[in-house]
Amino acid sequence: MRQCLPCTACCEGWLQINVNSEEIYPGRPCSNCNTGEGCRIYERRPVEPCQRFLCGWRDEGSPLPDWFRPDNAKVIVLPNKFRWKGYPVDVAVPVGKRIPPRALKWLMQYAQKHQRLLVYMEQKTKDAGFEKSQQCLAYGPPLFLQEIEAMVREGKRLWE
């Protein structure tokens, strides 16, 4: 299985999570994250979300190429996060403002080739930092795009 380190992207605030009642989001990394070195409380880290989280790049049998480690490709991939009309939907979250074109192109080509759908985020910025909310975009057939857009507009969660 692929190893995380030196990548710590999941703890750096790019994923919006809650760790031991601490809210983590872009611009506010986990206080236990030692960037590039790992988690200061790794042996005592909480089950949710830390122990149960599995980065798509680390997933056993992951189709993501080696260069797709989140700190390198600048994207965290959450495979098969939910389903739409029987199709798996992968979610991609940028490590930074947006997913770099090379990585986004790879994800879109993979989705098309393997009959998968893609929801991806972009960080919203304000002043010199990031907003807590993210812009949600989608790749797939027009009906999928319309439904995702409507769900986002109505404030509905796309997945649990």
Assigned domain for 1 exists: no
Span between the terminal Cα atoms of the chain, in Å = 26
Please indicate, yes or no, if residue 2 is contained in any of the structural domains.
Answer: no
The neighbour count for residue 50, using CB atoms within 10 Å, is: 19
Q: How confident is the model over 26-83, as pLDDT tens digits?
A: 888 999 998 878 888 888 899 999 999 989 999 999 999 999 999 999 999 999 999 9
Q: Could you give the CA distance from residue 111 to residue 44 in angstroms, rounded to a whole number?
A: 36
Question: For residue 160, is pLDDT > 80?
Answer: no
Asked, for residue 31, whether it belongs to a domain, the answer is yes
Report how far residue 7's alpha carbon sits from residue 70's, in angstroms, rounded to the nearest whole number: 7
Q: How many domains does the chain have?
A: 1
pLDDT in tens, 105-129: 999 999 999 999 999 999 988 877 8
Whether 160 is covered by a domain: the verdict is no
* Residue 37: inside a domain: yes
Distance CA 6, CA 21 (A): 25
Q: Does residue 49 fall inside a structural domain?
A: yes
User: 119 near 90, Cβ under 8 Å?
Assistant: yes
Quote the domain boundaries for residue 102: 9-153
As a residue count, the chain comes to 160
- In angstroms, the CA 3 to CA 25 distance is 23
Residue 16 within a domain: yes
Contacts of 106 (CB under 8 A, 6+ apart): 65, 68
Average pLDDT over residues 85-107: 97
Q: How far is CA 102 from the centre of its chain?
A: 16
CB atoms within 10 A of CB 49: 14
Is residue 115 assigned to a domain? Answer: yes
- Which has the higher per-residue pLDDT, 76 or 3? 76
What DSSP line would sit under 96-115, residue for residue?
Answer: SSS--HHHHHHHHHHHHHTT
Q: Determine the pLDDT at residue 131.
A: 84
